[in-house]
Structure 1
Amino acid sequence: MAARRPEYSLGEELGSGGYGLVLMATHREMGSPSAIKGMPGTTAEARLLAGLDHPHVVRVYDSFKYSVQHSGGPGDLYLIVMEYLPGGTLQTRRNSLSPEQSCAVGLAAAAGLEHAHERGLLHRDVKPANILFAEDGTLKVCDFGLAKLFEGSPVRTSNVVGTEPYMAPEQFTRDGLTRATDVYALGVVLYQLLTRRLPFDPRGPKPMWRAHIEDEPPHMTGVHDRLAQVILRALEKNPADRHAHAAEFAMDLAQAATDIYQPGWAGKSRTGLPLNLTGLPEELIDIIRGPTGPHKAAVPHVSQVDQISRVTQRTRSLTENRSPVWPTGETRRPDPGVPASRAFGGPLRGHEESVHAVAFSSARPILASAGADQTIRLWNLTSPADPRIFGRPLPGHTGAVLSLAFSPEAEILASAGADSVIRLWDLTDPTAPVHVGKALRGHTGQVNSVAFSPDGRTLASGGKDETVRLWDVTNPATTRPIRAPLRGHTGRVLSVAFSRDGQTLASASADRTVRLWDLTDRAAPQLLGERLDGHVGWVYSVAFSPHQSILASSSINVSLRATSTVSLWDVASPAAPRFLSEPLRARRAAVNAVAFSPAGNILASAGCDQVVRLWDTTAPADPRPLGEPLRGHAGWVNSVAFSQYGDVLASAGEDGTVRLWPTRHHGAGPHTSFQGRSGDDRRS
């Protein structure tokens, strides 16, 4: 491939198996990522695969045939260039989907299968691992490696092929296969999404093939009867008793879901999944959206030409040094539960689940947020009282996103999370973020924290594998690890932070300690001094003051009535740090996040008591609370961050919202609006 198609730059292996081999590839001129699959097959099969063109089927850009020699003699190898799908598989998401989201998955997959069936192709291996997501969250039916041609009449095969938990009875008995065979598999997928279990347990007393042929699926506990009827019809033993077409299954599913969740349930604001029903009857769209809804697809078809056009426009805007156009987005309605004098309007609702991280750009009024829904949101805060969303969420992670960090120039955003990878995003144009380079892999467990050095050349990360890693991000497109992982903890690393000069790195751990690392020579980092201990439990967060040699750390011990402390350390001499004052303590108010204001005189802390507290650290040996706690979240507060000028504080919560708090009077310079100390209530 590399020799015959030099216009593609080949990258890492994305997958392999009986269907062939899939490699990452980048078109040298376009710069856009693709996936290239090499597979054996007949000319007709390869042509049909390349001819599939539907928003919910993996898009094929090109195909080539080569004559090759192998041990069995000459043969043909087919290479198919497909769209790259960084959003992960349904397998990784299936336990976190709501019933509405599960139904949207069923409709999207049915639309893709109907398109394939209409073109004479049975999939024969529909399962969560073969359903992937594009960058914008669009579902794609993929991996037609076991696909079989048919011309309307049942297809008979000599081999039993498929994945047992999702195979229809006729696949085991080698009877004729029809469209209803794929409908059965999709029914199993929906059964699993809605009940969190397979209809037939692979570890059960009966062989899987006998259970599919002989047993009735168990009652779908906890699933509305209307939905259960649709799914169980798709799982009928006799193909003639099932939905004959994927489109018929979609119609039945849409009617049931609309009866339960009301018209409009399938909109992206409700499900987070762009839905395109191209090729299905207009009656189905009427059912979902209501008779007065628009008869058009929710997501436009994006061709390869459109992609090239976007790349060209982006390149032109960069070369002409134009400022990006900031979209209007959606206006946030004020929340009557929070007085306007205490918060900027209402909560920012852009995530479907809890929000784990917030981070501000240091150069532009941009806020990034990320959470358990595996996405990242960008917010235009030109007017904090009227925040707007920049475009679509940034997908790519296949687990909860736990940490965010902007580079000093604010053009690169780093994200990390439960999928054990770190991703870098180019935000030169925040309306069209671009994933930079490859995902950074090295941690063997979830990545809990990332931080950029002040010069932007180094990225630090800490993970569940008890290590700290350093990455050279001088050129983000070719990021590489800097020497071996740093090992100094005996528990998972929960937070990392750089000092203001970038020569010291702090790491916090579940081993109840903070370690300091000398990065004067980042190629040879060294541990500094002894462990910073004395914490009551796991140390969840560390933060350096931007203008003072102060380090803040927060720890929690849930066994002691959720007792927590915030400790302030004098790190003017990193090799000999010392306590600055008695720890700031709170009962039943576990603190899992701390952040300093840009001026360094205000410390924000937040945790499970659902509030944010501000502390005046002008005299770090005698920190005092500033005003009353900031209330508004309806769950744990997971992260806090100050804006570039310190005039806005953002907080992220388990309630799925982000809140913005003003921290100074308009035009009043650095003076905080939370003036006046409320007394020495550090033990409150």
Structure 2
Amino acid sequence: MARHVPDEWRPGAVILDLYEVRDVIRGGGMGLVYRVLHRDWNVELAVKVPRPALATTEKGLRDFEAEAATWVGLGEHPHTVNRVYVRTPGGVPAVFAEWLDGGSLAGAVRDGHLYTGGHREALRRILDIAVQTAWGLQHAHRHGLIHQDVKPANVLLARDGTTKVTDFGLAKAPAAAGESTVVPPGASLLAGYGGMTPAFCSPEQAEAALWTEDSGRPRTRLTRATDTWSWALTVLEMFVGHPPCQYGQTGAEVLAAFVAEEAGDERIPATPALPAGLATLLERCLAWVPADRPEDMGELAGELAGIHAAALGEPYPRPEPLTAVRLADGLSNQALSLLDLGRPDEAEALWQRAAEADPHNPHAVYNRSLYLWRAGRLTDAQVIVDLEGVRAAQPEGWRAAYLLGLVDLERGDAESAAELLRAAAERAPGNPEITDALGRADRAPRTGQDAVLTGHTGIVYGVAVSRDGRTGVSAATDRTVRVWDLAGRRCVRVTTATDSQWGIYGLAADAEAHRAVTASPDGAARIWDLRTGRLLHTLDHGANPVKFGPGDVAMSADGLTALTAHNNGVMQVWDTTTGRCLRELKAGPDGTRVGGTAHGLALGADGRVALTRDRWKTGTDAGLLVWDPGTGQVLRTIETGFRDAALSADGRTAVTTSGGSGVRIRDVATGRERRSAIVRPGGLGYYYGVSADGRCALGGATNTTELWELPVGRCFRSWREGSYSVAFGTDGRLALTGGAHGRL
């Protein structure tokens, strides 16, 4: 179902369930500008939403998107606004770009902020902005892109002094979308119309605006020289203190008049004097014939650096940027753009190129790992290993610690996140990104303290948790069953449940932890009263040879029904009140045995649905059998290779893993796959459980325990301790795991 997107976004609104609107910045020729937070990536973006007239037709929409998308091809540069892509929320194209926190050059001129600190400081600032703007345009020109709307409103400032050019390609977008080039009566000459802004356009742009198909004249072809003209007027505005002219094509005359007026000391007092060398440079840039203007913005930047040294008596401090230095950053940001455009394969290819360019680039490693983690193709532990590698390679930097902190925030470890973010803050004091993340970490709820219960002396192969989460039950190879007060973290009862040298390999309990069924490798299965430790029944398997393994017993929530799986492929259903076998399930629909010691026996809380294999085998040919223990009827067979299976208490969600690397979440009623994930060999683990509501699973293997979010199919959090048995409390907030060396 398409999601409704309002015509005008309000602060606090969330667009497309992803973009949180923080502020409405301004209106203008292009329309509205918003500051939004990309919730998935925790990055603030600027969003330009054009006037509805720019996208009234399907062709206009396509043309607008195509022109705006040329921005993406620029890649990253320190003096162009980056991270650009186009989406169409509500059917209107919106351009998403990097957010800068210092406003526009037009705003700095208008409010006088540009001139703070006196004439010398203002001149230093103006020349710095002019050089950086020239470098940004040089980068675009090298990529074959002519901006066509250079003006102070399209020069953005960061609080650290960085200057970036924005809105590449958007000057042509209105004309591409079919907008008239005629400026509406009474309209602002500082707004863009039909591919130009009148107050900053070059003579050839003004001429091109008058062209029509029936004029009989060839259409004027614009070159890089048109950007040179508009750049010169942008620089001139910083000395004039306001837009220098109403119509840009009069720029040369306006410059001459200003130089003459300045000689008579009639300029605005707050603005510094225009250096003579810069006046000469601007005259060349405002030559009427395009071929007479300098087109190489890099050369202009070099000349400005010389003017800076002559006027201020000090060298220009910034080195010329090398685009290769930020190649990995640029590729990573393009990959994010492609993700939002629904092109993940291309995004992954770009991340691969970024890794080849800089294997330890913090943002490239973070963005790729985060994407794969959220897609269920990496575990959180693997993401952390990747970023720890970056941290080791850049021990003096702050970014790796900051990004690791963001990962810990997402995986619910607020304590670790806060520690990492404070370490980052020590290396980059006052950084707003770190400050914001640290605030979120400090406000995040703390998880309950994990507890380790000891007492068993063998491997704990069976655990259960009562409905209210207050009582735990465990069984181990030390032959004992233990009942635990989980709130008090203490053992309240120990029962020796077998004399077999192998101890107990299977345990299941009812929802109140009043009754349990245990199984031993020697073939004995028993029903116990956990409140007293009394043996109620030893189950008589008759002629069926039995060899139990972990997970080969199950019990309904009411404690009235138990299941046992035999190594000869037979399933038996038991009445726990009498200890009587109610029925056997010996074969699946194709006549093959259905049981076996495969950690694949599961029973829903109401006792109406059970899971097991439909092949008496291990390996990829095993499928999932869904059946009714009350009748022994097979309800459906799901053809899927798996090694392990678990069932939610509500009987709606099944989770299976293969012996390789696949995790699949299935709807029991239909057999359809909801989600799948690809993780390292071993999958979710050989011993695991599913929460009652089917939203999460906890899996254990020899050396790790993993918490999985089933709706999205990813490993949310890992612990570096193995588990051989797992059980959830009913509300999913508490889990009990059993491991080696008797630890729970």
Structure showing the higher helix proportion among its residues: 2
More strand by share: 1
- Answer whether TM exceeds 0.5 for this pair: no
Relative to the length of structure 1, the TM-score reads 0.37
Q: When the two structures are superposed, what TM-score results if normalisation uses the length of structure 2? A: 0.35
Question: Bigger radius of gyration, 1 or 2?
Answer: 2
